A and B are shown apart, each in its own frame.
Chain A
Amino acid sequence: MNECVVALFRVAEIRRASIRACGSGIAALVSAVLASGLGLDLCESAFGRVPQSLNGAPVQVQPYVPEPGVPLITITPGALNPFPVGDGTGSGGYGTGNGGDGTGIAADGAGTGGDGNGGGETGSGSVGSSTALSAMLAQPWGTVAVANTQVLGVNASAIAATCVLESGCQNIAAASGSTVSGAFQMTNATYTSDINAALAGNPSLSSQITPGLAGKMDPATEAVAAAQDLKSAATSLQSSGISNPTVLDTRGYYNFGARYGATLAQASDDQNMGSLLPTYSPSQLAANGITPTTTVGQWRQSIIAKIGNATNQPVLSG
C-alpha cells in the first residue's frame, strides 16, 4: 500500500516537471497541437466507429434445420437497425415527391427520363447518416433484403440507399402504361435480366425468392435484382478505372449512362454538368433535372441531401 502511495507521488512529481519543461512558447504550442490532434482523432474514432464502419447489418445465422433442444428464436421482421445513428434530421417526406424523373435503376433510357411515370425519386425527405439502412430495415422485408444482398457481395447500405432514392422504400405499383414498380422501381426487362443473372451466380438464392415477375412486387426479391444491378454498375465502373465505386458513382452511372458514370466520378466539384455530358442537349439535361451550368458539386449535394453518408459508401462489400 505504501509503495502505491509513493508511486503516485512520483507520477505527480514527473507531471509537474513536465509542465515546467513546457515553459517555452514553442514547446507549449507543439504539446497543445499534439494533444488537440490526438484528442480529435480519438473523438473521431470513438464516435465514427459506430455509424461509419457499418456496411450493413451484421451477418445473421439463418438455420434451416432446427436443432433438438434449442428453443426456436424468431427474429421479428421490421426490427429497427440495432445500430441506430439518427442525426436528428428526421426522415419524413416519403411519397411526397414530384412525380419523379424516372432515373436510377428504372431508367431504361439511361438519363433521358426512363419511363417517365414510374414514380421516380419519390423519397424526397432528408435521410442523413446511416438512416438509409435504418429506413430499409424498418420495413417488414428489410432484414431478408439485407441477407439476400450479402449473398451477392453488395453493401447493404448501398441497396438501402437505392430503395430510399427510388421509392422511399415503399412498394409502389406500376402506373398505367409503365412497367416500373416495386420498392426499387425496376422495369420488367431490367428486373428479369438482373434476377436471372443473380440466380445464375448464386443458385442458393432460388429458394429465398418469389419466382417469376411476381417477385418484382416482393421487395425482398426485388432487392436481389437491384443488388445485382448495382454490382454490375460497380464492376463496369471498375473496368473504367474507378477503383472502389461508391453509391454516388453508381448514381452517375444510372442517371447518365455507363460511360458518363466514370467521367462524373473523376470530375471536380466546380465543373459544369454541361461540360461533362458533352453529347447531352439542354433538353436532355433538363429531363434529368439539371442545366448546363449545374455544377457537379450541386448534383452531388442533391444526392447527399437524400441519402446522407450512404452516398460515399462503397457498393461492393466483398
Chain B
Amino acid sequence: MRRFTIYICAAVLIITCGQRMKAEGLHAARPLAGYACMMLNLTDAQMRDNSLMVPVYAGPSTTSGRVGNASAIVIAKSPLHIVNGFAEMLFPNGATVWIDAKMLRPYHSESNPNAHCTPSLMSNGKPGLG
C-alpha cells in the first residue's frame, strides 16, 4: 500500500512538472546546421519603413511566384546558395524561399558588436532565432 502511495505521488509530480514545462516561453531546441543569420541590406530608416517590402519568392526568379516579405533578419543557406541572382533562405513557416541576393548583408548589431544570432529549430517546431 505504501509503495502504491509513493507511485501516485511520483506520478502527480511528473505530471505537475509537465504542465509547468508546457507554460514555458519560446526557446531554441537545437541549432539548424547549414544556415546562418543575415540581415536585409537596408538603412535603419528603410528597415522601419512599414511601406517598404522586400519580397521573397517560391523559386530563384521573380516569375516563380511571390510568397511574402522578408523580415529584418533572415535565415540564409550557409554557405550562400545563389541561383540566378537569388539566395536560398528559410521562411519562418519552414518553407524554403528565395530572395534577391543583393538584398542581403552579413549580420551585425549596431548596439552590440558581440551579438550572436543562431538559426535554430524552436520549441514550437518552427525555424527561429536563438
Q: Which A residues contact B (CB, under 8 angstroms)?
A: 25, 28-29, 32-33, 36-37, 40, 109-112, 236, 238-243, 256-263, 265-272, 274-282, 284-285, 292-293, 297, 300
Q: Which of B7, B49, B68 contacts A32 (CB 8 A)?
A: B7
User: Is A279 touching B72 in the complex (CB atoms < 8 A)?
Assistant: yes
In chain B, what residue has the closest Cβ to A285?
B111
Given known A-B contacts A240-B92, A260-B48, A33 and B115 have beta carbons under 8 A apart: no
| Cβ–Cβ < 8 Å partners of B73 in chain A | 263, 276, 278
Cβ of A275: which chain B residues have Cβ within 8 Å of it?
109, 112, 115-117
A262 and B7 contact, Cβ closer than 8 Å, known pairs A36-B15, A240-B71, A278-B108: no
* CA gap between A32 and B68 in the complex, in Å: 49
A41 CB, min distance to chain B CBs, angstroms:
10
CA of A292 to CA of B114, assembled, Å: 11
Rounded to whole Å, the gap between the CB of B16 and the closest CB of chain A is 8
Point out the residue from A28, A278, A281 that lies within 8 Å of B107, measured CB to CB.
A278
Other CB < 8 Å A-B pairs besides A236-B69, A263-B129, 17 of them? A32-B7, A33-B11, A37-B15, A239-B68, A241-B68, A241-B95, A258-B48, A266-B127, A267-B26, A268-B28, A272-B112, A274-B112, A275-B109, A279-B39, A279-B43, A279-B72, A281-B111
Q: Residues of B at under 8 Å CB distance from A?
A: 3-4, 7-8, 10-12, 14-15, 19, 24-28, 39-40, 42-44, 47-50, 54, 68-73, 91-93, 95, 107-112, 115-117, 120, 122, 126-130
Bound form: Cα–Cα A139–B7 in Å = 52
- A286's closest neighbor in chain B, by CB? B111
Chain B's nearest CB lies how many Å from the CB of A108?
10
A36 and B12: CB pair below 8 A?
A: yes
Chain A residue with minimal CB distance to B91? A241
Contact at B47–A263, with CB atoms within 8 Å?
no
30 contacts between A and B (CB under 8 A): A28-B3, A32-B8, A32-B11, A33-B11, A109-B48, A240-B70, A241-B93, A242-B93, A256-B48, A259-B72, A260-B48, A260-B72, A261-B71, A262-B92, A266-B26, A266-B92, A266-B122, A266-B126, A269-B24, A270-B28, A272-B112, A272-B115, A278-B108, A279-B42, A279-B72, A280-B111, A282-B111, A284-B44, A292-B115, A293-B112
Q: Report the nearest A residue to B109, measured CB to CB.
A: A278
Q: How far is the CB of B3 from chain A (nearest CB, A)?
A: 6
Given A259-B40, A259-B47, verify A240-B112 contact (CB < 8 Å): no
Instruction: Find chain B residues with CB under 8 A from A33 CB.
Output: 11, 14-15
Contact A274 B91 (CB under 8 A): no
Q: Which of A266, A278, A284 contacts B128 (CB 8 A)?
A: A266
Cα A275 to Cα B110 with chains together (Å): 9
A268 touches B129 (CB 8 A): yes
The one of B4, B14, B72, B109 in contact with A28, judged by C-beta atoms closer than 8 angstroms, is B4
Instruction: Tell me if A292 and B112 are in contact (CB < 8 A).
Output: yes
Residues B15 and A240 in contact, CB atoms below 8 Å apart: no
Distance to closest chain B CB from A249 (angstroms) = 11
Q: Evaluate contact between A268 and B120: CB separation under 8 angstroms.
A: yes
Chain B residues positioned under 8 Å from A256 (CB to CB): 48
CA distance A263 to B71 in the complex (A): 6
Bound CA span A259–B73, Å: 8
Task: Determine if B7 and A268 form an interchain contact, defined as CB atoms under 8 angstroms apart.
Answer: no
- 8 cross-chain pairs, A with B, having the tightest CB-CB distances, nearest first: A257-B48, A241-B92, A262-B71, A275-B115, A266-B128, A279-B44, A269-B25, A259-B72
* Contact A257 to B7, CB < 8 A, known contacts A272-B112, A282-B111, A285-B111: no
CA–CA, A240 to B72, complex, Å? 10
Taking A260-B72, A292-B112 as contacts, is the C-beta distance between A280 and B44 under 8 angstroms?
yes
Complex Cα gap A109–B10 (Å):
54
